[in-house]
A and B are shown apart, each in its own frame.
Chain A
Amino acid sequence: MIVLSIIQLTFRESLAKKTFIAFFSISTFIALLLLFALNLDVVDGFQSTISVFGKESSSTIDLREIIWGVEGGLAVFLFTGGLFMALFATSNLFTNLMQPGFVDLFVSKPVSRLGVISARFGGAVAIVAFNIFYLVIATWLILSIKTGLWNWGYLLSGILIVVTFAVLYSLVTLLSVLTGSSAFSLMITYLILFFSPLLLQRDRIYALLSSRIYGIIVDGLYYILPKTSELGNITQKVVRGAEVASWMPLWSSMLFGLAVFGLAALVFCRKNL
């Protein structure tokens, strides 16, 4: 109950700062766009005409490809723009918590510090999960009802996006608890987010390195840091129903998130506030 009230207050804080409403508005706008702008004329499982904002196209395309394509596009949007915005919108939740006079109100209550940090983290993830699933479920329902094609993989992509957010947010949490600066923690997290595609190309990087030790460092970074680029690819494959060759990027990223959150909790528990 105590932990739940901290999560509720985190939600309330997000509402007051309009970040929740901004998320919700963008999601609603996209869902309405699909509801009114995309019109499909379906005959025997194939699209005979497709119109976007009233403009018709007569080329015959497999309906399944269109729907999987639209949903894949939305998943990519959520994985890139959505994650970027979500991290930005929630980055100050922990630096706010650490403010003298505010943190006192939580830590002096009958709840452990681990409970406080977990509830705050859970609140941030819940805010993002609510908005991502709102958009995913709304668009999934609209597209599925319009076409009769129910792509369960698209729903699964919502889970992957939320998990990726939680992994990256654990780093925001640790850096915020350590430095008290939301700008700094956000910069480092964005750096890692955008560093991932570079590390994915490490085979090409080896050729440019002068020493083997640099190769080991690049390899180490690849295995330790969250593999957002590969998680994005997995998300797309899941939406399209394609086979995922390896889930290693997912579980290793989750391990990173757990370890970093554990470290953040340890620092928070030992900190003089």
Chain B
Amino acid sequence: MVAVETREISKSFSRGRVQALSACSLQVPAGIIFTLLGPNGAGKTTLIKILTGLLHPDGGGARLLGAPLGDVSVRRRIGYLSENHRFPEFLTPNQVLFYFGRMAGLERADLSDKIPRLLRIVKLESWSNVKIRKFSKGMMQRLGLAHALVNDPELVFLDEPTDGIDPVGRREIRDLLIELRNRGVTLFINSHLLSEVERISDEVAILDRGVLLEKGRIDRFLSQDHQVQIRLAGEGDTLPQICAALEVPVSRTDDVFTITIADDQQLNRIIDEVRKAGALIRSITPSKISLEDYFIKVVEEGGEQK
């Protein structure tokens, strides 16, 4: 099932002078963590705002959980944490979740059970009756996350969910997002914290100046085609000699050899030769690059093409 489907969504501002989104089409399968990446001004927040009904697209359309964009009733099944949310400062976390939970269509009785549980999850239970004007940025972000989950949504849009949160808090939120994904919730995240994204995302899309440059499973992006890293136990020369004989390029960093192979058969032949030579293989892993490196490469290539 597809949770989010956009068809050629376009949006411009300042009477067409700023093109925020250009014919953006993507599909997000249900039950995954999907992250939209892009430099500042790429159009990430614009896309989320269109999907949550805050902005009207100039062209194109979208379906959320099978319902067309203008269908407000589907929002009962959707949660949203906006980038700069501003809850009324005179409210306490209990009151924030009560009022906005009611606006999400929940009954009073449901909320009396749900609010303490949500505040416990985001570690704000001891602050439940304190006015939020005293809250730090991180606490507000946790409250925003609780607000986004108050209606037990099937699809959650999170715009920079770990913004302003300390490393320990980020890890807790990461774990919470993974738990939600495991329960079948679809998470659509905007983030510029690439190391965070790399750890939790199933799929990513890269957006730059309103154009969708890449989209796909994160492991596909990060694995380097035909590059394999091999670690051998206490062996220095065997592998380079074998690679030289087979004309396979090899490089070495400490005890890790990186080889560039033509295909899987060549890799298996190298392994056979190494074992025949009596060397002990500790590990063989597909070579990966960091998401940051990949992101910069894609954005730079996209910029050059333009």
Does residue B85 face the partner (Cβ distance < 8 Å to A)? yes
CB distance from B137 to the nearest CB of A (A): 13
Does residue B184 face the partner (Cβ distance < 8 Å to A)? no
Contact with B along A163-193 (1 / 0, CB 8 A): 0000000000000000000000000000000
Interface size on A, residues (CB 8 A): 28
- Is there contact, CB below 8 Å, between B72 and A112? yes
6 closest Cβ pairs, A-B complex: A16-B90, A5-B102, A101-B86, A110-B75, A104-B82, A101-B84
- Is there contact, CB below 8 Å, between A12 and B100? no
Question: What residues on B are CB-neighbors of A9 within 8 Å?
Answer: 88, 99, 103
User: Which residue of chain B has its CB nearest to the CB of A270?
Assistant: B56
Interchain CA distance A166-B105 in the complex, whole Å: 28
CB distance from B35 to the nearest CB of A (A): 20
Question: What residues on A are CB-neighbors of B55 within 8 Å?
Answer: 272-273
A12-B91, A112-B72, A272-B56 known; A100+B84 contact, CB < 8 A: yes
- Is there contact, CB below 8 Å, between A5 and B103? yes
- Is there contact, CB below 8 Å, between B54 and A273? yes
CB distance from A243 to the nearest CB of B (A): 47
- Is there contact, CB below 8 Å, between A12 and B82? no
A110-B75, A272-B55, A273-B54 known; A99+B99 contact, CB < 8 A: no
Contact of A272 (CB < 8 Å), options: B54, B80, B82, B83: B54
- Is there contact, CB below 8 Å, between B90 and A104? no
CB distance from B48 to the nearest CB of A (A): 10
Residues of A that sit less than 8 Å from B by CB: 1-2, 4-6, 8-9, 12-13, 16-17, 99-112, 270, 272-273
User: Which residue of chain B has its CB nearest to the CB of A5?
Assistant: B102
- Is there contact, CB below 8 Å, between A108 and B53? yes
User: Which residue of chain B has its CB nearest to the CB of A13?
Assistant: B88
Residues of B that sit less than 8 Å from A by CB: 13, 49, 52-56, 72-76, 78, 80, 82-88, 90-91, 95, 99-100, 102-105, 147
A2-B103, A104-B52 known; A110+B73 contact, CB < 8 A: yes
- Is there contact, CB below 8 Å, between A2 and B56? no
- Is there contact, CB below 8 Å, between A111 and B86? no
Question: What residues on A are CB-neighbors of B104 within 8 Å?
Answer: 2, 109-110
- Is there contact, CB below 8 Å, between B90 and A12? yes
Interchain CA distance A102-B85 in the complex, whole Å: 6
- Is there contact, CB below 8 Å, between B88 and A104? no
Question: What residues on B are CB-neighbors of A273 within 8 Å?
Answer: 49, 54-55
A99-B86, A111-B72, A270-B56 known; A106+B103 contact, CB < 8 A: yes
Question: What residues on A are CB-neighbors of B49 within 8 Å?
Answer: 273
User: Which residue of chain B has its CB nearest to the CB of A4?
Assistant: B102
CB distance from B76 to the nearest CB of A (A): 5
Interchain CA distance A12-B91 in the complex, whole Å: 9
User: Which residue of chain A has its CB nearest to the CB of B70?
Assistant: A112
- Is there contact, CB below 8 Å, between B75 and A109? yes
22 of the cross-chain contacts (CB-CB < 8 Å) are A1-B102, A1-B105, A4-B102, A6-B103, A12-B99, A16-B90, A100-B84, A102-B86, A104-B80, A104-B82, A105-B82, A105-B87, A106-B103, A107-B53, A107-B54, A108-B53, A109-B103, A109-B104, A110-B76, A110-B105, A112-B72, A273-B54
A9-B88, A13-B90, A101-B85 known; A111+B54 contact, CB < 8 A: no
User: Which residue of chain B has its CB nearest to the CB of A101?
Assistant: B86
Contact of A105 (CB < 8 Å), options: B13, B83, B85, B105: B85
Interchain CA distance A2-B103 in the complex, whole Å: 5
Interchain CA distance A101-B75 in the complex, whole Å: 18
Question: What residues on A are CB-neighbors of B53 within 8 Å?
Answer: 107-108
Question: What residues on B are CB-neighbors of A4 within 8 Å?
Answer: 102
Interchain CA distance A111-B102 in the complex, whole Å: 11
CB distance from A146 to the nearest CB of B (A): 40
User: Which residue of chain B has its CB nearest to the CB of A3?
Assistant: B103
User: Which residue of chain A has its CB nearest to the CB of B79?
Assistant: A108
Question: What residues on A are CB-neighbors of B82 within 8 Å?
Answer: 101, 104-105, 108
Question: What residues on A are CB-neighbors of B85 within 8 Å?
Answer: 101, 104-105
CB distance from A124 to the nearest CB of B (A): 15
- Is there contact, CB below 8 Å, between B103 and A111? yes
Interchain CA distance A108-B76 in the complex, whole Å: 10
User: Which residue of chain B has its CB nearest to the CB of A15?
Assistant: B90
Interchain CA distance A157-B86 in the complex, whole Å: 39
CB distance from B59 to the nearest CB of A (A): 14
Interchain CA distance A105-B83 in the complex, whole Å: 11
Question: What residues on A are CB-neighbors of B103 within 8 Å?
Answer: 2, 5-6, 9, 105-106, 109, 111
Question: What residues on B are CB-neighbors of A101 within 8 Å?
Answer: 82-86
Question: What residues on A are CB-neighbors of B91 within 8 Å?
Answer: 12
CB distance from B148 to the nearest CB of A (A): 9
User: Which residue of chain B has its CB nearest to the CB of A102?
Assistant: B86
Query: Apart from A6-B103, A8-B99, A110-B76, what 11 extra A-B contacts exist at CB < 8 Å?
Result: A12-B99, A102-B87, A102-B88, A107-B53, A108-B52, A108-B75, A108-B80, A109-B105, A110-B73, A110-B105, A272-B54
User: Which residue of chain A has its CB nearest to the CB of B13?
Assistant: A272
Interchain CA distance A111-B87 in the complex, whole Å: 18
CB distance from B93 to the nearest CB of A (A): 14
Interchain CA distance A251-B101 in the complex, whole Å: 39
CB distance from B177 to the nearest CB of A (A): 19
- Is there contact, CB below 8 Å, between A5 and B84? no
Question: What residues on B are CB-neighbors of A100 within 8 Å?
Answer: 84, 86
